[in-house]
């Protein structure tokens, strides 16, 4: 699987409300509500404003949570990114 690069939603597009174990995300562009669980909110948070792929994301998440970057994490993150893209929350750069 190629490590595709994605862009996060522009600032202010998403309204993110933690609801216990779930996180509700309202997308002001699509008017859709998405209910997600960890690590989706963390991924969105780590993506920031610039474009980023799974490898870059793994590095950022590792830094944020003080973890080592394990090789097998990247395909999982790539999978999560493609799910976020299907929801329209991130976009192929």
List interacting residues with another protein (CB under 8 A). 15, 17, 19-24, 26, 28-33, 35, 85-88, 91-92
Q: How far is the CB of 82 from another protein (least distance, A)?
A: 11
Let me know the angle formed at the C-alpha of 89 by 88 and 93, rounded to the nearest 5 degrees. Answer: 80
Given the complex with another protein, which of 37 and 68 has the nearer CB atom? 37
Q: 44-81 as b/e, with b when 16 or more CB fall inside 10 Å?
A: bebbeeebbbbebbbebbeeeeeeeeeeebbeebbebb
Q: How far is the CB of 4 from another protein (least distance, A)?
A: 10
Q: How far is the CB of 26 from another protein (least distance, A)?
A: 4
């Amino acid at each position: 699987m190629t490590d595709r690069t994605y862009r996060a939603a522009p600032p202010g597009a998403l309204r993110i409300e933690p609801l216990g174990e779930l996180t509700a995300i309202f997308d002001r562009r699509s008017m859709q509500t998405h209910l997600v669980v960890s690590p989706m909110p963390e991924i969105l948070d780590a993506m920031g404003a610039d474009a980023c792929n799974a490898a870059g994301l793994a590095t950022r998440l590792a830094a944020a949570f003080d973890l080592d970057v394990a090789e097998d994490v990247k395909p999982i993150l790539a999978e999560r990114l493609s799910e976020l893209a299907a929801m329209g929350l991130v976009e192929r750069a």
